[in-house]
Amino acid sequence: MAKTKELSKDTRNKIVDLHQVGKTESAIGKQLGLKKSTVGAIIRKWKTYKTTDNLPRSGAPRKISPRGVKMITRTVSKNPRTTRGDLVNDLQRAGTKVTKPTISNTLRRQGLKSCSARRVPLLKPVHVQARLKFAREHLDDPDEDWENVIWSDETKIELFGKNSTRRVWRTKNAELHPKNTIPTVKHGGGNIMLWGCFSAKGPGRLIRVKERMNGAMYREILSENLLPSARALKRKRGWVFQHDNDPKHTTRATKEWLRKKHFKVLEWPSQSPDLNPIENLWRELKVRVAQQQPQNITALEEICMEEWAKIPATVCENLVKTYRKRLTSVIDNKGYITKY
């Protein structure tokens, strides 16, 4: 049997108004072009509930009992990588037969949805403590100190690439909880490797690293690009250089080279890409490059250089201005990876 079209709220209210002025159900039906039974139902509802609004419908009973809901919610809270199939089997062993969509709907009502697990650096307890120490020590540093930092990093940009995913059940804003992420270990490779730097004044130099980088090559990159970037960005005397703890950056030879050049280096906690605002610039660059759809490596390199130069200085300035929020976020997250 086909469903009948629901009456609008205005029509229902009009039925009640006509009833209150003394018109019969038949007369109201003729005037509004409705069946007498429909008019009568609206009037009876109004007399009983004093409203013409739709009342909550009971609907079909839930397939999963409240106890079952608690069981599967508890299961995915302990292990977010639990699959719907696992939960179907758990309920079946408890005497409840349900489908995977029913599992999804039930967990969604509990504020949980299936999402791709984020990939984040693997944090050991020593990393967590170092990150907390860094954040607490620098939390009250004035903005001028961060404006005088030159941030640097390497990244890879692929012409074509696929990233494997894994799904987890999580609540809103819990995507970076350790249980909901996939730890990764930083390594080189990729179709094109870039080194770049920036400060609050704008992007510095960006170069392509065409060979496998080692300590000697890294020192050569700094020699040819770091000081020219500092001059172009008009850094004040005593500016600070930031780089991470990649082995190429922390070799004895590199440390000695930096010391002889009188470069002040920011002490950096390992496994902390979220504390480096250049990660946001890499993301900006990759979005811009993807929109250009380069068809070969040569075009990819050219587009990277062009788009890097187009990144507004205001973007860089805002990243540095909000640096204290990164530190606060690390502290609030007890040292674990935060959004960046």
| pLDDT value at residue 239 | 95
How would residue 185 be classed by pLDDT, with cut points 50, 70 and 90?
Answer: very low
Confidence of residue 164 (pLDDT cuts 50, 70, 90): very low
Question: What CA–CA distance (Å, rounded) separates 32 from 117?
Answer: 57
pLDDT band at 57 (very low <50, low <70, confident <90, very high): low
For residue 163, name the pLDDT band (cuts at 50, 70, 90): very low
In this structure, how many other beta carbons lie within 10 angstroms of the beta carbon of residue 327?
22
Instruction: Please name the helix (run of DSSP H) or strand (run of DSSP E) that holds residue 133, with its range, or none.
Output: helix 125-138
Q: Is the pLDDT of residue 190 over 70?
A: no
pLDDT of 147:
94
Per-residue pLDDT, averaged over 177-189, amounts to 60
CA quadruple 141, 146, 272, 256: dihedral positive or negative? negative
* Eight-state DSSP code of residue 318: H
Average pLDDT over residues 148-156: 96
The predicted pLDDT at position 102 comes to: 94
Contacts by residues 110-114 (CB-CB < 8 Å, ≥ 24 positions apart): 110/69, 110/73, 111/171, 111/172, 112/73, 112/76, 112/169, 112/170, 112/171, 113/169, 113/170, 114/84, 114/167, 114/168, 114/169
More confident residue, 49 or 253: 253
Residue 44 has pLDDT above 80, yes or no: yes
Is residue 1 predicted with pLDDT exceeding 70? Answer: no
Mean pLDDT of 165-176: 78
- Alpha-carbon span 273 to 185, nearest angstrom: 12
- Answer positive or negative: Cα dihedral of 3, 7, 12, 18: negative
Q: What would you measure as the largest C-alpha separation in the chain, in angstroms?
A: 100
Helix, strand, coil percentages for the chain (3-state, nearest 5): 50, 15, 35
Question: What is the SS3 assignment for 107?
Answer: helix
Q: Look at residue 161 in the predicted model and tell me its pLDDT.
A: 42
- Write the pLDDT tens digit of every residue in 106-120: 999 999 988 888 888
pLDDT, position 187: 41
Nearest residue to 339 via CA among 329, 331, 328, 271? 329
Q: Report how far residue 42's alpha carbon sits from residue 130's, in angstroms, rounded to the nearest whole number.
A: 68
> Is the Cβ–Cβ distance between 199 and 170 less than 8 Å?
no
pLDDT at position 3 is: 59
Q: What is the pLDDT of residue 314?
A: 96
- What are the backbone angles phi and psi of residue 98, rounded to the nearest 5°? -135, 170
